[in-house]
Structure 1
Amino acid sequence: MPFATIKTFKGALTNEQKQELHRRFADLMVEIEGKGNEEFRKFVILAIEEEEPINLGIGGIRATEDLMKRITGN
């Protein structure tokens, strides 16, 4: 049973983008680990963890609101 976690900044992904990640990850794991067997899909788990930007840094710089807007385009 594959289990993966994707960590991202809170607010970086829309609900639609998260759904697309879940779908594509499941598709990939069915193809690779499940060898194309669609029954394998029900065993694929993906967790998306969202971190507050204040808790993270990029290149040694705390992720400010301005930096997040530049990265995410939001």
Structure 2
Amino acid sequence: MPLITVKVIEGVFSDDQKQEIIRRLTDTMVSIEGENMRQVTSVLVEEIRSGNWGLGGKPLTTDDVRMLAAGKYGS
């Protein structure tokens, strides 16, 4: 019974995106383990408070992640 834990910074992903993460990760595990494992595959999306995540020794905020995704972080 696989448990997949995904940690993200709060406010980066919408509810729809988090549901898509759950669906796609479940589908990926099922593609490896077989369809019979779908009902026992758990995915946990855990949101970490903005600023409580570090990257390169510096706190990372929700705005930082958005800038990173847009290719503007650190420029």
**Structure 1 length-normalised TM:** 0.79
Moved more, 15-24 or 64-73: 64-73
What is the DSSP-based 3-state SS (H/G/I as helix, E as strand, rest coil) of the residue aligned with 2:20? helix
Which amino acid is the alignment partner of residue 52 of structure 1? R
Query: How many aligned positions are there?
Result: 70
Moved more, 63-72 or 50-59: 63-72
User: After TM superposition, what 4+ stretches of structure 1 lie above 6 angstroms from structure 2?
Assistant: none
- 2:47 aligned with 1:53, yes or no? no
RMSD: 1.7
- Per the TM alignment, residue 67 of structure 1 is displaced from its structure 2 partner at its CA by 2.0
Match runs of 1:16-35 below 5 Å: 16-34=16-34
- Per the TM alignment, residue 33 of structure 1 is displaced from its structure 2 partner at its CA by 1.2
Identity across aligned pairs (percent)? Answer: 37
